[in-house]
Structure 1
Amino acid sequence: MTGSAPQAAQDGDRNTSGERNTAKNTVHEAAIVFNQAAVSRGDRVIWSNGTFSIPRRSVTAIVGTNGAGKTTMMKAELGLLPLSHGNVEVLGEPAGKSNKRIGYVPQSYTSDIDSNLTAEQSVLLGLTGTRFGFHITTAAQRNRAHKAMDFVGVADKASYRLSQLSGGLRQRVAIAQALVSDPELLMLDEPLANLDLASQRATVHVLARLNHELGMTIQVVAHDLNMLLPILTGAVYLLDGHPHYAAMNDVLDANLLTHLYGTTVQVVTTPQGDMFVTPSPDEPDDIEQDTHAPVEVAQFHHHAHQHQPDAPATAPAERS
């Protein structure tokens, strides 16, 4: 996908070329807006009555049980699945119209991509738009690809074939491919699936930098919230056949998550201030669970943000 440089959320922010933006403050504008949206397959309603908005510069998870329609929601936002009712706007346009301004990492990327491609060739697909045929690439395109790879930490693997890379490194190549067109919105479908703990942390670190340093809006389909908790600002949760959006302070509620996942869930805060969500199906009903107040969640997020690396933004792509 090719596209224009992202809109800045605040004067003085840098885009993915490292240049100063001069756009008006858009921090309160919505990146995604649902209005009575519904999706059906045949006679089956996947979800309905979706009415909410997701702010720009947010990091949002889409959560729910298997079959609830998480990936379906992302495909609807991309205009790949028709709505049976209502409408969805993404970056101020009807779903599907702004895809050139969106970077997308599908769930099946690491298994579907041709493993004989080098990391550089794979990232360049984000500019050439196809995996097939011979394409002459320019020096400017290769420069953009290397800046994207440098940002995600795989520049030194440019000449490696994907078959030579670990799952975590292939996932970062996938993110670089999505970044090379300088998107405003990054969508990732289960980006942490099948990765070991170190690779999950490395991937989340890349997402944190994209959000904090470049102001990028990020949306992630997620099964497990734990690794993403320090960077999430909100979540869309698919509950009882309806999608809802809420800030993380409200989503991290033991009763809500228990209802959502159909098993007893605790939201636990450690003495160090870290927190995690854990199922506890054998917990007796008369035991008071170790949950936390929303203010504790907010304090944790502030603490995590303060400890993010403060390195200058490295540019994945140049503006053409």
Structure 2
Amino acid sequence: MDQPALEVTDLAVAHGGREVLRNISFALPRGSFCGLIGANGAGKTTLLRAILGLLPSSGRIQAGGRIGYVPQKISLEPDLPVRAKDFVALGLDGHKFGFALPSRARRAAVAAALRAVEAEGFAEQRIGRLSGGQQQRVLIAHALVRQPELLLLDEPLANLDIKATAEIVALLRRLCRERRMSVLLCAHDMNPLLPVMDRILYVANGRAICGPVEKVVRTEVLSKLYGYHIDVIRVHGRVLVVAGQAGFEPEDEACCAECEAAHVTAIP
């Protein structure tokens, strides 16, 4: 069997003396599209940074290949003298000191990454003058240029309009299938991802649960994860997760035992 693209076991992260994440365990099969979902402040970015080795953590993290990373939207001045293709080229060796010499191989790699995200038409434009959707394509190309097996994206849909959101989601799904590349995409709203997600990694209360959407996004499952009653409402093809008013009391000892057992659950 194929080695998973990413396997996390008993991950815990503390920051400023506070435990942000605890007992996180999950695995992503190769070629899977997984949404990393949770409210603002739930620890989604912390989890991505721990996977990248940017935060001290305990537990075990094993990636089956090279990782590409798209950070949260960065602020770029319109007059920044960096073209889209120059920014993508930084993904080849921007972590090294100095400037790389031009070469046919470098130009071919950059052109291939821009073509993969359908950004050839604005490759010569200054990146700070591109629209939000165009900038997001360039950021993805920057992460793709070294041909990763796993792509991590931190809130790539934030501040995009409905059309740009749908286009970016479709683009990522296509790349996932064509390259057999696994995608872990962080978002606070799961609805734009529902048509494309193979799995969902839902984070709340410092804990997480991972599995198929239909098995994770359920009232009884999310109530255990949050530690209080949650209602999952489906209407007009959308899913709403809201705090309920009754029926789940975390003070109850039997209930708390169930919650503790659900620190992280991987649902097959």
Please classify the TM superposition score into its range, dividing by the shorter chain length: 0.7 to 0.9
> What is the rounded CA distance, in whole Å, between the counterparts of 1:39 and 1:113 in structure 2?
37
Letter in 2 for 1:88: I
Q: 1:143 to 1:45 in 2, by over 3 A?
A: same
Match of 1:278 in 2: 240
Match of 1:152 in 2: 117
**SS of alignment partner, residue 34 of structure 1:** strand
1:132 Cα shift?
A: 8.3
> What is the rounded CA distance, in whole Å, between the counterparts of 1:39 and 1:225 in structure 2?
24
Map of 1:1-320 to 2, 5 A cutoff?
A: 26=2, 29-83=3-57, 85-91=58-64, 101-109=66-74, 111=76, 115-130=80-95, 134-257=99-222, 260=226, 264-268=231-235, 270=236, 275-278=237-240
1:201 Cα shift?
A: 1.1
> What is the rounded CA distance, in whole Å, between the counterparts of 2:155 and 2:182 in structure 1?
16
Q: 1:194 to 1:263 in 2, by over 3 A?
A: farther
Q: 1:250 to 1:146 in 2, by over 3 A?
A: same
Q: 1:119 to 1:132 in 2, by over 3 A?
A: farther
Cα RMSD, aligned residues only: 2.8
**SS of alignment partner, residue 5 of structure 2:** strand
Structure with higher strand content = 2
Identity of aligned residues (%): 39
TM-score, length basis structure 2: 0.81
**SS of alignment partner, residue 30 of structure 1:** coil
**SS of alignment partner, residue 87 of structure 2:** helix
Match of 1:7 in 2: none
**Aligned residues of 1:187 and 1:220 also touching (Cα < 8 A):** yes
CA distances 1:139-196 after superposition (whole Å, capped 9, x unpaired):
2211111111111111011110112210100000000111111111111000100011
1:109 Cα shift?
A: 3.2
**SS of alignment partner, residue 163 of structure 1:** helix
1:137 Cα shift?
A: 2.0
TM-score, length basis structure 1: 0.69
> What is the rounded CA distance, in whole Å, between the counterparts of 2:72 and 2:175 in structure 1?
20
> Which has the higher mean CA deviation after the structures are superposed, 247-256 or 179-188?
247-256
Q: 1:131 to 1:144 in 2, by over 3 A?
A: same
Q: 1:134 to 1:30 in 2, by over 3 A?
A: closer
